[in-house]
Amino acid sequence: MAKKKMPSVKKIYVDYNSTTPVHPEVVEAMMPYYRNVFGNASSIHRFGQEAHRALDLARESIAKLLNCDTSEIVFTSGGTESDNHAIKGIVSAASASSAMASAGNHIITSKIEHSAVLSPCKYLENTAGAVVTYLPVDEYGVVGLQKLDEALTDKTILVSIMSGNNEVGTLQPVEEIGRIIAKHNESRIAKGQRPVYFHTDAVQCAGKISLDLKKLNIDLLSLSSHKIYGPKGVGALFIRKGTKIHPLIHGGHHEKSRRAGTENIPGIAGFGKACDLAVKNMATETKKIAGLRDAIWQGISKKIECVRRNGHPEKCLSNTLNVSFEFIEGESLLLNLDLKGIAASTGSACTSGSLEPSHVLSAMGVDPVTSQSSIRFSLGMLNTQQDVDYILDVLPGIVTKLREMSPLYKKKKRAG
Ligand SMILES: Cc1ncc(COP(=O)(O)O)c(C=O)c1O
């Protein structure tokens, strides 16, 4: 009997801020290190040397993406570790030196950081007596520069403000933030005090905006491979030469004693390749993807009433669109989209399942009900105009169906 052909289910992935598919060229670049080049990069023999060469090459690729020195790159297990290393490592170094201890224990961050920054800050508040200022943001999710300036005190040791937000895409003015900190440091250095360090979580920005660390006054910067078409479980922390920081993970002398543990050579080689591709493709990819993202928003705002876009309309990651669909639960919308083969998200994958409204949208002044009605489309390399057309075909019907179940929406309709 002839086999019945299954109808093919459409699969459209618009959740690139959660993770990205591994680029085929990245897979290729990793393969030799799973097969014959399996040495431990710390070994002296040629197997070790081959592995070490991969490490060097990848470090060059990451340094090229950031325009920094290779010696300023430390490989980590991802963005979360890089953020933890930056924050805990600075606090630990400050408290270890008596000269520095007099500098204080004050950290400045923002209310819209990823949990990989907020959780270590909370941890240090609870366990190490750190004092943390959580800067507010405006309705677009931008940190106020004046507020930052006012928050800096003689006790401040670290400012950690993300470059681009994972939920709404808003970009922070990192150049100006760096300038304010440098200005503040002038008088501290004159007084022989320790400088305030500036850390930025650039996990969502790599490959989307140019990050020139020769120009930016940034001391520490976190990257994650799986957000830029590399493998999961690999990342890097840029540590500017001279920065007083302790390791997060103690053990052997790997990474010049800055991060212990046998290096994940296949992952690091893949991450290096992903950075090469990011450098090569950034200009064309971001333009294409921004066009598709804008087309989704234009379609939504034309076809569906009672919607609002969250995040900055211009100073925004090129691929991110966060929209509130009033009278609808974001989770229900996601499930219905998933049934139609569209994979979007309500926000950060790390907080999905939480019943709390998004801390990012709350900080932007979005009320809890509207916040719960929001979803994020984050686009990437494989998206096409056909995907956009399909999303815009399917979405209005789902929204109408879900709103018909909403007593509040019906009331609004009756009221005209
Ligand atoms: C802004 C931001 N920082 C940090 C992370 C954590 O990175 P990783 O998944 O590599 O630990 C993420 C992941 O979603 C992120 O979006």
Assess whether the C-beta atom of 80 lies below 6 angstroms from ligand 1.
yes
Report yes or no on 18 lying in a domain.
no
Nearest residue (CA) to ligand 1, atom 4? 79
Report yes or no on 323 lying in a domain.
yes
Assess whether the C-beta atom of 330 lies below 6 angstroms from ligand 1.
no
Cα-to-centroid distance, 142 and ligand 1 (Å)? 19
Assess whether the C-beta atom of 235 lies below 6 angstroms from ligand 1.
yes
- 113 and 253: one domain? yes
Q: Which residues of the chain have pLDDT under 50?
A: 100-101, 350
Assess whether the C-beta atom of 204 lies below 6 angstroms from ligand 1.
yes
Cα-to-centroid distance, 340 and ligand 1 (Å)? 27
- 173 and 37: one domain? yes
- 241 and 324: one domain? no
Give yes or no: 275 in active site. no
Assess whether the C-beta atom of 114 lies below 6 angstroms from ligand 1.
yes
Residue found under tokens 């916040």:
371
Where among 255, 277, 299 does a domain terminate?
A: 277
Assess whether the C-beta atom of 116 lies below 6 angstroms from ligand 1.
yes
Cα-to-centroid distance, 164 and ligand 1 (Å)? 11
The domain of 228 spans 24-277
Report yes or no on 213 lying in a domain.
yes
Assess whether the C-beta atom of 224 lies below 6 angstroms from ligand 1.
yes
Cα-to-centroid distance, 401 and ligand 1 (Å)? 34
Are residues 232 and 76 in contact, defined by beta-carbon separation less than 8 angstroms? Answer: no
Give the integer Cα–Cα distance in Å for 182 and 349: 34
- 346 and 207: one domain? no
- 174 and 35: one domain? yes
The phi, psi pair for 354, rounded to 5°, reads -80, 140
The per-residue pLDDT for 100 is 47
Assess whether the C-beta atom of 120 lies below 6 angstroms from ligand 1.
no
Report yes or no on 4 lying in a domain.
no
Report yes or no on 9 lying in a domain.
no
Give the integer Cα–Cα distance in Å for 255 and 261: 9
- 140 and 237: one domain? yes
Put the strands of the sheet holding 131-135 in their side by side order. 73-76, 235-239, 220-224, 197-201, 156-160, 106-110, 131-135
Nearest residue (CA) to ligand 1, atom 9? 79
Where among 243, 261, 277 does a domain terminate?
A: 277
Cα-to-centroid distance, 48 and ligand 1 (Å)? 31
The minimum-distance atom of ligand 1 relative to the CA of 348 is: 14
> What CATH number should be reported for the domain holding residue 257?
3.40.640.10
- 186 and 324: one domain? no
Give the integer Cα–Cα distance in Å for 227 and 22: 9
Cα-to-centroid distance, 350 and ligand 1 (Å)? 8
Report yes or no on 3 lying in a domain.
no
**Which residues lie closer than 8 Å to 347 by C-beta, 6 or more apart?**
166, 167, 322, 358, 360, 361, 374, 376
Where among 247, 277, 307 does a domain terminate?
A: 277
Does this model's pTM top 0.85? yes
- 50 and 79: one domain? yes
The per-residue pLDDT for 224 is 98
Nearest residue (CA) to ligand 1, atom 5? 79
Tell which one of 85, 166, 352 to mutate to probe ligand 1, the residue whose CB is within 8 A of the most ligand atoms. 166
Give the integer Cα–Cα distance in Å for 346 and 378: 11
Assess whether the C-beta atom of 166 lies below 6 angstroms from ligand 1.
yes
> What CATH number should be reported for the domain holding residue 342?
3.90.1150.10
- 52 and 184: one domain? yes
- 264 and 300: one domain? no
**Which residues lie closer than 8 Å to 256 by C-beta, 6 or more apart?**
71
The per-residue pLDDT for 2 is 58
Cα-to-centroid distance, 352 and ligand 1 (Å)? 13
- 273 and 378: one domain? no
The per-residue pLDDT for 353 is 54
Report yes or no on 14 lying in a domain.
no
Q: Quote the number of domains for the chain.
A: 2
As given in the structure block, the two tokens for residue 297 are: 């928003």
Tally of CA atoms within 13 A in the half-sphere of 412 that contains its CB: 11
- 272 and 291: one domain? no
The phi, psi pair for 112, rounded to 5°, reads -110, 15
Tell which one of 19, 170, 204 to mutate to probe ligand 1, the residue whose CB is within 8 A of the most ligand atoms. 204
